[in-house]
Amino acid sequence: MAENIETSFDEAIKAGKINGAIICTTDAKGHSIYNEAFGARTLLSGEKVPQRLDDVCFLASGTKLITTITAMKCVEQGLLTLTDDLSSIAPELAAKQVITGFSDDGETPRLEPANKPITLEMLLTHTSGISYAFTDPNLTKWCEKFDAPDGNPRPVEESFRYPLAYQPGTSWMYSVGLDWAGKVIERVTGRSLGENVQEFVCDPLGISDTQFYPVTREDLRSRLVDLNPHDPSASACAVVGNRTEVNESTKGDFGGHGLFMSPSSYIKILHSLLANDGKLLKPTTVDDIFRDHLGQEASAGYRAALAGPIGPFFRVGIDLETKTGHGLGGVVTLQDIEGGYGEGTMTWGGGLSLTWFIDRKNNLCGVCALQPALPDFDGEILEVLKQNFRRDIYRKHAAWKDQQQ
């Protein structure tokens, strides 16, 4: 498959691997470097309409960056700090123990008390011990025995009531920390996470097309990519490998994965952080978001996770040999990547089909939202296309700069 965006994306559409894609990129001055919509989306009626930049997509874990910004706004307002114990706000976190295994007969979990309190910084950097259950065999087994799904939607507190996978602050594993951070935000503000996101993130940038699952606003449903004959309930299952339970099992606003928004709006958020324009957060706060926050123990756990079986997912297109850390909103590169990200770039993704980056050194940010075809979901082609976006967008940026001279 060709490595340039246009050819590879068009080939994937013709082959029935994706239905479409949306790419938005800009520099700090707001120049549109490359904005393009490919393919078409299918309405519930079966009618196909051309993909548009302002079509509403499921952000999945692209939500995490927005929750981070909202949390840091609460820090600026004095409602939270990065390093204080959250026990008084979320006593459920203080009650969690660390699972170390099971009894010889496999029936009784071995648990030990947490030796330090969980902080907001830990939640935002995936170092709290609150991992996704699928990343740890002990957590998976605990959930199978004591927390089997009953088919009813559950809030954050009930969805993630399982033990810690490791002592807080001593390792790293991709986690539901941002979902808990969203709950903390709700408790200190007395409002829903969605209301806080609208005031702290969307209103300052003129964004009006955002809603947590389920999307009920008719003006958004008319533009919703994930409302189609293959997904009539708009669960956005295509983004997460044709799994409807990711959203349908939730109740309330989940700060780790629940937002829907158009890429043309998401790029406004990336741009504001790239320009550090003060519209969302103080410049010093933005600088702190981009700093590597992992201590020595957590860094060792992070490197082990990157080299593990699901490490490629955590590396978001970055080679294992490249030095990276973790900021408050995503992976941070600690060195330049030839022909790509500069040192200090932050990046992450959403589900299996969305990726974003903010490269402050090379003055570029972008988001790519693929629309996987169902029912024959092809995760491998999505990885190829996302990587083509990450590489070719830098070639297009270089060509754009040449044209300006």
Q: Exposed, middle or buried: residue 375 (CB in 10 Å: 0-12, 13-18, 19+)?
A: exposed
Averaged pLDDT for residues 293-300: 97
Residue among 253, 230, 259, 233 at smallest CA distance from 245: 233
Q: How far is CA 124 from CA 83, 128, 269, in A?
A: 11, 9, 18
Mean pLDDT of the residues in the chain: 97
Write the DSSP symbol of residue 291.
S
Average pLDDT of span 294-317: 97
> In this structure, what token pair is assigned to residue 4?
């340039």
Going from the C-alpha of 59 to that of each of 65, 95, 239, 374, the distances in angstroms are: 10, 31, 9, 18
Find tokens 């965006």 and name the residue.
5
Token duo for residue 292: 């590597």
Cα torsion angle, 361, 126, 79, 179, sign: positive
Work out the number of other CB atoms within 10 angstroms of the CB of residue 353. 27
Is the pLDDT at 109 greater than 70, yes or no?
yes
Instruction: State how far the Cα of 114 lies from the Cα of 94, in Å rounded to an integer.
Output: 8
pLDDT higher than 80, residue 1: no
Cα–Cα distance for residue pair 26/300, rounded to 1 Å: 35
Q: What is the pLDDT of residues 209-253, one digit of tens each?
A: 999 999 999 999 999 999 999 999 999 999 999 888 899 999 999
56 forms bridges with which residues in the sheet? 224
H helix count then E strand count, the chain: 16, 13
Distances in whole angstroms, Cα of residue 7 to Cα of each of 3, 10, 12: 8, 5, 9
- Predicted local distance difference test score (pLDDT) of residue 108: 96
- Provide the 3-class DSSP secondary structure of residue 35: strand
Q: What is the pTM of this model?
A: 0.97
Long-range contacts of 210-216 (CB under 8 A, 24+ apart): 210/259, 210/260, 210/261, 210/265, 211/259, 211/260, 212/252, 212/253, 212/254, 212/258, 212/259, 212/260, 213/58, 213/247, 213/250, 213/254, 213/258, 213/259, 213/260, 214/247, 215/56, 215/260
Structure-token pair, residue 209: 């097309």
| Residue 34 annotated as catalytic | no
Which pLDDT does position 207 carry in this prediction?
98
Q: Can you tell me the mean pLDDT for 344-354?
A: 98
Q: Which helix (H) or strand (E) holds 235?
A: none
3-state secondary structure of 367: strand
**% of the chain surpassing 90 pLDDT:** 97
The one catalytic residue in 8, 17, 34, 64 is 64
CA distances from 73 to 67, 273, 289 (A): 10, 13, 12
Q: What is the mean pLDDT of residues 187-208?
A: 98
Task: Look at residue 286 and tell me whether its pLDDT is greater than 80.
Answer: yes
Whether the predicted pLDDT of 2 surpasses 80: no
Active site residue 268: no
- 73 class by beta-carbon count within 10 Å (0-12 exposed, 13-18 middle, 19+ buried): buried
Tokens of 239: 């983004």
Q: Is 61 considered catalytic here?
A: yes
Which one from 17, 34, 61, 132 is the annotated catalytic residue? Answer: 61
Euclidean distance between CA atoms 304 and 174, whole angstroms: 12
Helices (H), 113-210: 120-125, 137-146, 156-159, 177-189, 193-197, 203-205
Beta strands (DSSP E) in 146-295 are 211-212, 259-261
| Structure tokens belonging to residue 88 | 């008084």
Report the pLDDT averaged over residues 329-337.
Answer: 97
Buried residues in 290-307 as b, exposed as e (16+ CB within 10 A)? bebbbeeebbebbbebbe
Catalytic residue (choose from 166, 174, 213, 341):
174
Q: Region 195-202: what's the mean pLDDT?
A: 98
The two tokens of residue 208 are 């009006």
Q: Quote the pLDDT of residue 291.
A: 98
* Per-residue pLDDT band at 150 (split at 50, 70, 90): confident
What are the beta bridge partners of residue 98?
A: 112, 164
